[in-house]
Amino acid sequence: MQIISDALLLCSYMSLIEQQPQKEEYPRSGNNIVLELRGVSKAFLHENKTADRHRVLDGINLDVREGEFVTIVGPSGCGKSTLLNIVAGLDAPDSGLVSVRDGSDGIRKAQRVVIFQEGALFPWLTVSDNVEFGLKVAGVTKESRRATASRFIEMAQLAKFADSYIYQLSGGMKQRVAIARALALDPRILLMDEPFAALDVQTRDILHEQLVQIHQSTGKTILFVTHDINEAVLLGDRIIVLSPRTGNVKKEIAVNHPRPRDIESHEISAIRRELLRELEEDFQIAKRNHNPQEG
């Protein structure tokens, strides 16, 4: 059974990466559009398999700029993961277009890497070997991949654990390995689906700080799905609120405040309240749908 689950893990990881030559310099934040979504729609069959399909996303338009950190929030079931999976190329939209552009001269082969709640690391490899894995598959020389892996292991503050096996690490450390492994591939976009949701509050706070530092030092474009309002406000340059009623973007909130941010500060609390107001109505509807007798 272990062999089968390890093989599945390997296959799922391989499907998440598209290879590209490594670059040493990272682009800084600018006005280049890296990700463009036009009219993206997706429907699923209802669980009871009636002829009706449940339209989860309905004509989503979204532009994400190079170096931007965009958080996506909304009540459970509003389609956050569906949207991220479509951007990742793990699922196809029923209609609409998703383009990932090269920074300088138009569209080229997209490179997107996803980090999920469970980091999908290879337990039989060390931290170093996990981080190097995608580079090895891409044919990067041993010397070069060692150097790249060391750099990102250092950035994720895991240098002391480079030779440790995954089972020897805490949950937060595992997610830092997943981030280092993703960054080593130098993706155009880092896609994160509730990557810290399974961690305790203190570990999450530490990882927020570290992710902010990593974002600042790499200039990576990040699309980050969360149902945690604080996380959305503390991390995002822009917050996209999805509505399950319309299957579309309900509101975009820009957070023009330097990081690290203080959730208690006047400005950030005001944005948090605005976000709560936006979500409140849809949360009530989602609650009523789950407990119709309470409505």
Ligand X SMILES: Nc1ncnc2c1ncn2[C@@H]1O[C@H](COP(=O)(O)OP(=O)(O)OP(=O)(O)O)[C@@H](O)[C@H]1O
Binding site for ligand X (CB under 6 A): 44, 56, 74, 76-82, 227
Q: Which one, 76 or 269, has the nearer CB to ligand X? A: 76
Edge-to-edge strand order for the sheet containing 69-73?
112-115, 189-193, 221-225, 69-73, 238-243, 248-254
Q: How far is the CB of 273 from ligand X (least distance, A)?
A: 21
Q: How far is the CB of 282 from ligand X (least distance, A)?
A: 11
- Among residues 250, 280, 283, the alpha carbon closest in space to that of 57 is found at 250
Q: Which one, 81 or 175, has the nearer CB to ligand X? A: 81
36: Cβ–Cβ under 8 A, 6 or more apart, which residues? 62, 63, 64, 97, 98, 99, 101
Q: Which one, 134 or 244, has the nearer CB to ligand X? A: 244
Is-contact 260 268, C-beta < 8 A? no
Q: Which one, 53 or 136, has the nearer CB to ligand X? A: 53
Q: How far is the CB of 32 from ligand X (least distance, A)?
A: 28
Q: How far is the CB of 132 from ligand X (least distance, A)?
A: 31
Instruction: Give the ranges where the chain is alpha helix by DSSP (H).
Output: 2-16, 80-88, 127-137, 142-155, 171-184, 201-218, 229-235, 266-290
Q: How far is the CB of 240 from ligand X (least distance, A)?
A: 12
Q: Which one, 122 or 196, has the nearer CB to ligand X? A: 196
